[in-house]
Structure formats: structure tokens, C-alpha cells
Structure 1
Amino acid sequence: MPLRVELKPFERIVIGDSVIINSNTRARFIVEGDVPILRERDTVSPETADTPAKRLYLCVQTMYLKSDAGRYRASYLACIDELRSATPDGARLTEAVDRHVAAGALYKALKEIRGLIACESPAIAPAEAVP
């Protein structure tokens, strides 16, 4: 099923291994095929992966964009164990993430992790972000 994408001026989008930067006007296009796509605002960089949920997101994001889940399996397991230890109340959500990853539905796993990031405890947030 084709994906319709609309980009704001100068917005970036990651398609596979490529980063596409829009020009100074809105752009609309349709992507056909099975290629991993993430808007820049939905990505986490190694520098911003400063909590267990964000580290898990970065790992799954890499698995998704590189289309190579097996290569990152050990890192994924370490990240999910770290998150389960840090937020035992998030067990239901981490189980959902694990099911999606096991099924190869990495984009759905990323959506679940975004929910974990949003409800991550301030106690495990980076020290400089805590008032």
C-alpha cells in the first residue's frame, strides 16, 4: 500500500539509509514499496538516547532502518532488560514491544516505545533535565 507523505519546508525524512531534506516549500509525494521510513521528529540519536526507553527506541529504530533485526538482537535484549528493571510498571508495554519485534513489526514496536518514553518516570530521566 503506498504511503502519502507531506513535508513542511526544510523538514527531513529518513527513507532506508537516505535522509531527504525538503526545500523551502511544502512537498507531497507517495512512496511505493516496502522501505523503512521515519520522519526526523520520530528519530532518536545516540546523543539524545539518555533514558532506558530512548535507548530501546534507538536500538529498534536501527533494526528498522537497517532492515537487519538479527544483527541487533543482543543489543535489543540488553535494552529491553534495562527498561524492565528501570520501570517494572511498564511490563505490559514492554511485552507488546517484544511481541511486535518478534513478529518483525518494527514500526509498531517503535510506536509502543514512544508511549513508554512519554510515561517514563522523571526519576530515571537525565539529571540535567530534572528541575
Structure 2
Amino acid sequence: MGLRLTLKPDERVIVNGCILRNGPRRHVLEVENRADVLRGDEMLDAGTATTPARRIAYQIQIALVSPPHRASLQAQLETGLAALALALPSFAPAIAAAGTALAGGSYYAAFRALTPLFPYEDRLLSRAAEESRS
């Protein structure tokens, strides 16, 4: 069984590095074999990659959608994950899962493994902003 994607009007999806945009109506696509897929609502851009976990996830996203860049990003990603694990030991299992997925070439799984860190980083930044105003 393949991956079933329901695309909203004008939604973007990346399949094996190719950016596709849906038309004005809702459509369903089925990916029947193994492919690198990233939905529009999951995509990060350089402007939203403002925290350590998001920056690493953004780099993983680049590797996911651009296979020629994977080899050049590998060492940087491994270093970033190691630093993140030291900074956020409570998230060590998620970070380790990202590292394992990355080592196995599962870039989407590595990307998804880091997403639980985003709300935590947001709370930390919000708290820091509140304290700086006080």
C-alpha cells in the first residue's frame, strides 16, 4: 500500500526533490513506491528556521529534497544533532532517533523526529522574551 496524500487547493508538496503545487481544487495523490515526500504544511523556510532544532530540521529538509546536497550536509547534521543532544538532554531519545534515521538515509524520519522539539524551543524563547521585558 502506498502513501495517500490529500492536497488542499494550491497546496505544495515536494516529491523526490520536485516541488508540485495543486490546482484550485482538492486532489488525492497516491505514491505507490518509495519516494521522498514533504507536504507544504511541514516545510520550513530559511526565515522560520530560527531555533537550533529548526535550523537542523531545515538542513535535513534540504537534504531530503535535494539528494546532491546530502553528502555535503552529512557531517554538519551529525555535529548539529550532537550539540543539540548536549543542550537538550531531556529530548535525547528524539534526537537519537533523528540521528539513527539520518544514518540510515531516512531523511523524512529524521525531519519528523525533531518536530517535538519545536514547541519546547518556542516556550523557552517566549519565556526568555518575557524575562527580558521585566
- TM-score by length of structure 2 reads 0.81
Q: Which stretch shows the higher mean deviation, 61-70 or 11-20?
A: 61-70
What's the secondary structure of 2:121's corresponding residue?
coil
When the two chains are superposed, the root-mean-square deviation of aligned CA atoms in Å is 2.3
Pairwise CA distance, 1:92: 2.0
Distance 1:21 1:99, change over 3 A: same
More helix by share: 2
Equivalent residue runs for 1:32-71 within 5 Å: 32-68=32-68, 69-71=70-72
- Runs (4 or more) in structure 1 with deviation over 4 Å come to none
Distance 1:27 1:121, change over 3 A: closer
Equivalent residue runs for 1:19-30 within 5 Å: 19-30=19-30
Q: Percent identity?
A: 26
Gaps of 5+ in 2: none
Partner of 1:108: 109
Gaps of 5+ in 1: none
- TM-score by length of structure 1 reads 0.83
